[in-house]
Amino acid sequence: MGEAAKVTVAVCTTCRAEGEPLEPREARAGARLHRALSQRAGPDDPAVVAVECFSVCKRPCTLSFAAPGAWTYLYGDFPADFDADAILAAARLYGASPQGLIPWKERPSALKKGVVARIPPLENLA
């Protein structure tokens, strides 16, 4: 891949930490993580987008890394106050690696233990 601009970090904004109230939605842990990532992301960083729900409610906060022609990774178990810079750095590693496959030893620990799913590129499914 090689270009961070093609990478998208999607964050579930409906994720709630255990015990959090349903409302207001913008105060939920996922929404807070999305805001932190959006505020830290620079013009050369991957795009950060909000998504309604990944259906991984038992592992909040949940986010994904995706790019054209790459494997999509879905990660869970991020606290709302997780280091946004670390997530963006990992997304840049993802973008720089062939097909989004970050070597195990280079992955930050949160990306080693938080994997929920790895989805092949659509081109591989045809």
Q: Give the integer Cα–Cα distance in Å for 25 and 35.
A: 13
Q: Map out the domains of the chain as residue ranges.
A: 4-61+69-118
Q: Give the integer Cα–Cα distance in Å for 50 and 14.
A: 9
Question: So what's the pLDDT on residue 76?
Answer: 94
For the chain, give the percent of residues with pLDDT over 70: 95
49-69 tens-digit pLDDT: 999 999 999 999 999 999 999
2-28 tens-digit pLDDT: 555 599 999 999 999 888 888 898 889
Question: So what's the pLDDT on residue 34?
Answer: 97
84-120 tens-digit pLDDT: 999 999 999 999 988 888 888 888 777 888 899 999 9
